[in-house]
A and B are shown apart, each in its own frame.
Chain A
Amino acid sequence: GAGVSQSPSNKVTEKGKDVELRCDPISGHTALYWYRQSLGQGLEFLIYFQGNSAPDKSGLPSDRFSAERTGGSVSTLTIQRTQQEDSAVYLCASSFGSSGGTDTQYFGPGTRLTVL
Chain B
Amino acid sequence: QKEVEQNSGPLSVPEGAIASLNCTYSDRGSQSFFWYRQYSGKSPELIMFIYSNGDKEDGRFTAQLNKASQYVSLLIRDSQPSDSATYLCAVFSGNTPLVFGKGTRLSVIA
Contact = CB atoms under 8 A, between A and B. Distances in A.
A110 B44 CA distance: 10
A91 interface: yes
Contact of B43 (A48, A102, A103, A107): A107
Contacts of A104: 34, 46, 49
A97 B103 CA distance: 24
Interface in B33-52: 34, 42-46, 49, 51
Contacts of A107: 43-45
Contacts of B44: 43, 91, 107
B46 A106 contact: yes
B92 A45 contact: no
A48 B98 CA distance: 10
Contact of A101 (B51, B97, B99, B100): B51
A105 B97 CA distance: 9
Contacts of A45: 97, 99-100
Nearest to B101: A42
Contacts of A99: 94-95
A33 B90 CA distance: 14
A80 B31 CA distance: 37
A108 B48 CA distance: 18
A46 to B, nearest CB: 10
Interface in A62-116: 91, 99, 101-110
- A41, A42, A107 — most chain B CB neighbours (10 Å): A42
Interface of A: 33, 41-43, 45, 48, 56, 91, 99, 101-110
User: 9 shortest A-B CB distances, which residue pairs?
Assistant: A42-B102, A101-B32, A101-B31, A107-B43, A43-B100, A48-B97, A107-B44, A101-B51, A110-B43
